[in-house]
Structure 1
């Protein structure tokens, strides 16, 4: 049989006919007219090549095939109903793996509180922090992670990504407390200083360099690092200045050899916005929907 020619509504009518064994009673239960149910019965008889209901001295009875298919039909309709209903996610019983990725310091800043909440409410759900790649959004694109924590934006078509803003922060300078510029600096002094730059890809200028170039300036980048976690070690007891999002700079203040200073007057930089991104493929995934609701609750309470 070609299933495309089968009207699934007929199976619902068939189930009630097998239960009631009477056209009028089936029509009442289905809230259909008796002629409509009679037409449906006729179509079922043609499709199954079986009378389904047979007349007896006491009314109607089921044919032998109808008796055989009645338990099968009930299970089939239950299975179809299960397929069509939205999947339910119970965090207290959920198992599986939830995967996040992001840059080292961004994850340190954003993820611990998230993990604590998820562990409390979904104790059987395993959480993995997947190492980031040079192309920031690759893991999302390839379906290898559920969420990406980042302050960057995708360079490709963006309509496949959804996002949730986590925090907004400004830029500041981080330097050794004995750096002469810690007492104050103007734009020329800032540009002439020795700068450190965190470059995840190892390519191209930093965002600050682009802004300075538009203003006709070029700073001296004397050290390029591949991650944020090592900034304090390289900055302490040196002449290097790092320009970082304030939320990251404050985290580095665990090293008491460093100080935070504002950018010089005349250097205006846009705020940095950190997001949780996810791919469109997980927009309706029950587990990811629940995780997003927990993230929203966390952000609302900040």
Structure 2
């Protein structure tokens, strides 16, 4: 023995003895979120408590950890290194405790999910019902937004999950199928020209209710249809734009207008009672709904457990609606 102490794996000279696992988890979250309030929210503590933790981290590591820039708070180079080592250490310790068992009753945190109104209505009630059976300390925010920007929001730590139609795959974003989906057309059961079948000429000739008024920034199903029609050199005659799909169905039921909606919404009893559900008279690309998350959360135990619940919900949804929903 030479009497020299082995260096701390976190490189915390003159401060390692004051570090505990909780403070390391705060370090990881602060660097991930790049925002004190968001980090506090994710950890389920107050903003002043997280500010106190940041001050303590700064003293222990003699590093600012987060610095203010023109684009917001950014982690220092050393903070990035420390957070990565802390993340590895926490995963090793977490995996070695209780033989790797995960107890959802002890889990806490805030999970933010982006989804359209229709997708959220299909998935979230079943998901939360399952969560509340065993993880009553978890909190959720479900919000709509520009689904095209969901990869950006996931990378920037503004979301933990997105449920969306996507055609792109990248190394840093994971995804899984929630349910396949088709687009259909609604027409009033009292429509003067359309009964039971819809031709291409009728689809173009009729007025349309389109989902896409503010605050809907990007109605993906409407864009798919518009792009398919543009390939044929035609477009729809838009009479009304609305902010939610339920309004589309109500307007169609009482007029001679048409509207496109996801088939799962069209199968709702109240909609079917007043509207015809018609196949589109032209092909459109697949519109499958997928769950998307960033690689930083791929091995997080609570996140992994939630993804298992999403899989269970997906299986239930598909069994109820079949592959065409």
The bucket for the TM-score relative to the shorter chain is 0.5 to 0.7
CA–CA distance in structure 2, aligned partners of residues 120 and 258 of structure 1: 37
1:90 to 77, 80, 103: 103
Q: How does 1:265-284 map to 2 (within 5 A)?
A: 267-284=282-299
- SS state at 2:245 partner: coil
1:201 to 217, 220, 228: 217
List gaps (5 residues or longer) in structure 2.
Answer: 6-16, 25-85, 96-101, 320-325
- SS state at 1:123 partner: coil
Question: 2:165–2:290: 8 Å Cα contact kept in structure 1?
Answer: yes
- SS state at 1:206 partner: helix
Deviation per CA, 1:18-75, whole angstroms, max 9, x where unpaired? Answer: xxxxxxxxxxxxxxxxxxxxxxx2xx33x36xxxxxxxxxxxxxxxxxxxxxxx8xx9
CA–CA distance in structure 1, aligned partners of residues 138 and 218 of structure 2: 35
Aligned to 1:120: 133
Q: Does 1:164 align with 2:180?
A: no
CA–CA distance in structure 2, aligned partners of residues 163 and 86 of structure 1: 27
The structural deviation recorded for 1:275 is 0.9
- SS state at 1:85 partner: helix
Aligned to 2:264: 247
Aligned to 2:227: 210
TM-score for the superposition, normalised by structure 1: 0.66
CA–CA distance in structure 2, aligned partners of residues 208 and 133 of structure 1: 18
CA–CA distance in structure 2, aligned partners of residues 167 and 235 of structure 1: 26
Aligned to 2:162: 148
- SS state at 2:194 partner: helix
Q: State the superposition RMSD in angstroms.
A: 3.1
**Greater fraction of residues in helix:** 2
Question: 1:195–1:219: 8 Å Cα contact kept in structure 2?
Answer: yes
2:189 to 177, 201, 205: 177
Deviation per CA, 1:197-251, whole angstroms, max 9, x where unpaired? Answer: 2233269972112111212332212222233232222222112111222112223
Q: Which of the two has higher C-alpha Rg?
A: 1
Deviation per CA, 1:142-191, whole angstroms, max 9, x where unpaired? Answer: 2122111122456xx83332111011122211121111213423211111
The structural deviation recorded for 1:130 is 3.2
